[in-house]
């Protein structure tokens, strides 16, 4: 299981074109975009914040795909506030806000299936594992790809794309992950947070 506590030394973002572009790096844009989040002008149907209710399912998905369960919790918190019926205007569904084109890569083809927490978490964990393998367990890049699409990360030289939403998303998830890890282990992932700050123009 990858626990992100190692120092990271990737350099800052270089000169980047189209700083205000949104997800222009993803192949076929919307179709290849990994996850669409319920923020930045999008809305999520109201619901209670219930992280504990999904802890067993999160732990199961994490074990099945060798993902840190605290990372899944952090993403679920930022994506949907642990709301299984959350739906964004961009068509992302469930706890982990997965869109159908991404889910189809893992054999799930219907939006209704993504509203099942167990299915949603399984698809998300499998996708995260794919991203970890592709980007060498580099947490900021994994999260950037989860948000903006793998193509966007590749387009900008395997750095965090210069999209405000994506940069903010990466920082929020890492901060949430850091908080959860501090609560559980007393360890701070300051090196990762510093890396994100260095690669962000915000």
**Angle (nearest 5°) at CA 176 between 174 and 180:** 115
Q: Which residues contact 202 (CB under 8 A, 6 or more apart)?
A: 164, 167, 168
Of 1, 2, 19, 4, the C-alpha closest to 193 is 4
Q: Which residues contact 138 (CB under 8 A, 6 or more apart)?
A: 8, 10
What is the distance of C-alpha 99 from the center of its chain? Answer: 12
CB 61 within 8 A of CB 124: yes
CA distance 93 to 27: 21
CB 139 within 8 A of CB 160: no
Instruction: Please list the active-site residues.
Output: 79
SS3 125: helix
Distances (CA, A) of 161 to 12, 14, 102, 103, 196: 11, 11, 19, 23, 11
């Amino acid at each position: 299981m990858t626990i992100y506590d190692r120092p990271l030394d990737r350099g800052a973002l270089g000169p980047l074109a189209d700083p205000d572009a949104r997800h222009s790096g993803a192949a076929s844009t919307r179709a290849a975009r990994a996850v669409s989040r319920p923020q930045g002008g999008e809305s999520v149907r109201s619901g209670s914040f219930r992280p504990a209710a999904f802890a067993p399912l999160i732990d199961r998905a994490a074990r099945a795909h060798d993902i840190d369960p605290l990372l899944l919790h952090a993403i679920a918190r930022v994506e949907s506030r642990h709301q299984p019926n959350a739906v964004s205007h961009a068509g992302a569904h469930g706890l982990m806000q997965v869109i159908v084109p991404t889910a189809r890569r893992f054999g799930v083809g219907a939006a209704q299936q993504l509203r099942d927490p167990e299915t949603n978490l399984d698809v998300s964990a499998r996708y995260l594992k794919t991203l970890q393998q592709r980007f060498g367990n580099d947490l900021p890049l994994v999260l950037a790809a989860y948000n903006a699409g793998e193509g966007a990360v590749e387009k900008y030289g395997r750095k965090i794309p210069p999209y405000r939403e994506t940069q903010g998303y990466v920082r929020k998830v890492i901060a949430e992950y850091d908080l959860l890890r501090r609560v559980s282990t007393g360890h701070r992932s300051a090196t990762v947070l510093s890396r994100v700050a260095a690669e962000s123009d915000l």
